[in-house]
Structure 1
């Protein structure tokens, strides 16, 4: 294990850190690496106070975010709202004409697609093409059931593709995301997988270094108020919002289960989290000016506890 303090000039801030003292880097690194952790990066008010790598990973090593990708897509949706391309609460059928005559699909909103409460089922790890996702039958009414999986985000990818095309822009959701989300944050996705249809995978396609993912976290922290609508608990799972996890009790999910809702008062209520398989994590805690990235090797079994890790981050550091 190699632990080092770093200087990331793009992330520096002159503001006073919110914590009385930096977290215990050795303790955080030990906890992460005991659970196959590969990278760890902690920023306080944009200033790096802990950076650690293990098992051959380095600052320049991009790692898959898996379902952490969904949180990037949520930020893309927020940008599309700002640009007047869409509203989160508009019917998906306004864009997906083939859904207009279906008594169930015609009622689905874009928010329900992104909170995975639309009624569109899918299998975790099996990413359909945009067309297959749009054509798939529903197994529940909109707003009735939380069903974690890739299909709703692929359907949203097709909505974005058609919205961009109708607006005279290149019909590539990834190009739009890079321009409106990654570039303003100064971040780069080192890779982004595409499906057999040539379209970018919306639910799990991105790979980033810890430093680049942290820049996304800093963007969220800086624009927390602007992203408020993304962080409203969904109607079917109060632990999940629009692409982001919240510290509320909920049913969880196979690929990104979390015990934040069981963490008690030690877990800040404004925490938001991007999460992916293998316990990939991006925590943003605006009240403490904290951004924390943790990446790991994908494993079949997990011993990761978000509640324990967040408590460790904040231990003896709150003034």
Structure 2
């Protein structure tokens, strides 16, 4: 009888070990977080140690360089597996996040809610006062902070980047129409107003400095606040996002809120959370169109991936099933077909990434 129990225990142990394995077939490692003290220390793991296909590395690098990439990082379990710079860019060079930085606003809004400074279900005018749009008052009062997070404010998205009241015009009731719109930046004003601090100061103390995103800054471009940082700082935010708002055991933003942010946020665009793009859904909408497209957003990418996508192909891919974060910064990959967020480059890039481990 003892032999039977021993055999059952050993079998169960072997099953558990095999289920906790990475793509390289080795027992799962503990998640790693680089120090947040401003040092440049970051653990690495080689392609060979991962058990990946070394022959697929150079074709990926050639493709990235050809497509105007400036930097590229792959993290697995928080460790750097690939880190490459192109076209004169370096590890210390800052670059803009474009709309990939929308997810920074999402995260800081959640932090402010955790601190009791705001509630995303409250109307925006509770914080900014009436008249922050030119919509009729009854329609303006329908717009909640959650509507700004979900891109369904009902305001006109065809009037350019200006978010002054005169340019924020009513098209439909909040919640009834999805449209990619820069009105989301009003959440930064909500955070500033509710915290009694500038947006940049609150962001720096509550997010940037806590996870070691040193040196980054918000820069005003054509009336919009755009975040610039090194590639490793972007990777740090990706790692925080992989861990659902926790950094080395410390909660930066509530996990329940982060789960909401990476889940379909409204009934119109299945592939959109709180400014995170969601793969693996049965349909999606794209910026500047009211059309619905059938199928998943990026077919070559894992279905559980969520992504921060910015103009000219700034990318943060987060893949929980692979404990992976991928960063791409650079110029537009296909200059003849520039886009605001998602582009055909995503699917092309993922075909190259898949070759590493399939």
TM-score (norm 2): 0.72
1:120 to 2:155 alignment: yes
Aligned partners of 1:78 and 1:230 also within 8 Å: no
Q: Deviations over 1:186-219 (max 9, x none)?
A: 113533213688xxx45xx111111110010011
Aligned to 2:171: 139
Q: What SS class does the counterpart of residue 29 from structure 1 fall into?
A: helix
C-alpha distance in 2 between matches for 1:210 and 1:53: 9
- Of 94-103 and 231-240, deviating more is 94-103
Aligned to 2:286: 252
2:58 to 20, 26, 48: 26
Give the number of aligned pairs: 292
Aligned partners of 1:259 and 1:307 also within 8 Å: no
C-alpha distance in 2 between matches for 1:22 and 1:269: 22
C-alpha distance in 2 between matches for 1:309 and 1:276: 15
1:310 to 2:345 alignment: no
Aligned partners of 1:189 and 1:206 also within 8 Å: no
Given the superposition, is the C-alpha separation of residues 278 and 142 from structure 1 closer, same or farther in structure 2, using an over 3 Å criterion?
same
- Unaligned 5+ segments in structure 2 are 1-33, 35-39, 246-254
1:40 to 2:72 alignment: yes
Q: What SS class does the counterpart of residue 95 from structure 1 fall into?
A: helix
1:267 to 2:301 alignment: yes
Q: What SS class does the counterpart of residue 292 from structure 1 fall into?
A: strand
Q: Deviations over 1:130-178 (max 9, x none)?
A: xx1487322111012122121x22322222221112xxxx2x1121111
**Superposition pairs of residues 193-212 of structure 1, within 5 angstroms:** 193-194=219-220, 201-202=224-225, 205-212=226-233
C-alpha distance in 1 between matches for 2:101 and 2:314: 10
Aligned partners of 1:133 and 1:154 also within 8 Å: no
CA drift of 1:124 comes to 8.0
C-alpha distance in 1 between matches for 2:97 and 2:295: 19
C-alpha distance in 1 between matches for 2:215 and 2:108: 14
Aligned partners of 1:134 and 1:155 also within 8 Å: no
Aligned partners of 1:22 and 1:49 also within 8 Å: no
Q: Deviations over 1:26-66 (max 9, x none)?
A: 23222222221111111111111111111111111111111
Q: CA RMSD in A?
A: 3.2
Given the superposition, is the C-alpha separation of residues 262 and 271 from structure 1 closer, same or farther in structure 2, using an over 3 Å criterion?
closer
CA drift of 1:99 comes to 5.5
Larger Rg computed on CA atoms: 2
Aligned to 2:273: 241
Given the superposition, is the C-alpha separation of residues 134 and 80 from structure 1 closer, same or farther in structure 2, using an over 3 Å criterion?
farther
1:186 to 2:220 alignment: no
CA drift of 1:90 comes to 2.1
Q: Deviations over 1:75-127 (max 9, x none)?
A: 11111121111222222232233169811111111111122110122458634
Aligned to 2:337: 301
Where does structure 1 differ by over 4 angstroms across 4 or more consecutive aligned residues? Answer: 8-11
Given the superposition, is the C-alpha separation of residues 92 and 310 from structure 1 closer, same or farther in structure 2, using an over 3 Å criterion?
same
C-alpha distance in 2 between matches for 1:187 and 1:241: 24
- Unaligned 5+ segments in structure 1 are 1-7
Aligned to 2:262: 231
Q: What SS class does the counterpart of residue 215 from structure 1 fall into?
A: helix
Given the superposition, is the C-alpha separation of residues 61 and 119 from structure 1 closer, same or farther in structure 2, using an over 3 Å criterion?
same
Q: What SS class does the counterpart of residue 234 from structure 1 fall into?
A: coil
C-alpha distance in 1 between matches for 2:175 and 2:264: 12
TM-score (norm 1): 0.80
C-alpha distance in 1 between matches for 2:162 and 2:214: 23
